[in-house]
Chain A
Amino acid sequence: MILARVEGNAVSTIQHPTLKGWRQLLCQPLTAEGEVDGYPILAIDDLGAGLHQRVLISSDGKALSQKVGTRYTPLRYAIIAILDEESVA
């Protein structure tokens, strides 16, 4: 799973049908210390993660195809947890 911070969202009208109705949040992956780590990714979200909240993104397409309901979905990233706070041991 990827630790990331929500930094925006995206709107698209022409999209794959399985994306219909899903919020697309722009998430910036973070390192454990909280620095920016790589390119931002678009993850679908049904938990209602807010701006600048830290979230966990699952990159497992199989689990997501159950969430979306069909096997024929190209989606991969989904927000599965919103972090309250975390401490680096």
Chain B
Amino acid sequence: MSEVKPGWKTLPEGDIVKGGTAAEFKTGDWRSERPVWFPERCIHCMFCWISCPDSSIVVKDGKMTGIDYDHCKGCGICVKECPVKPNKALEMKPEREGSCQR
């Protein structure tokens, strides 16, 4: 079943919609690289969570639990901000690695 979209006579006036619709718009396929999380290195400092412009760091009970790949655009800010040394708890990997690689 394809979605039936409203015509111009029934749409609300002026490109105004309810709040919070960004969650319904999946932007994960915009990525060319993805952040990969290594739980064993993570210190749960929440630097990635507070830096992520797309609210794509999934946190439960104050702990980092993973990445929302449906919305992560692959900007890499979380990797840049991760303070863990010598190896960061987040690393960027090419999106195609391990899938359609030739």
Tell me whether A and B are bound partners.
Answer: no
Interface, chain B (partner A; CB < 8 A): none
Interface, chain A (partner B; CB < 8 A): none
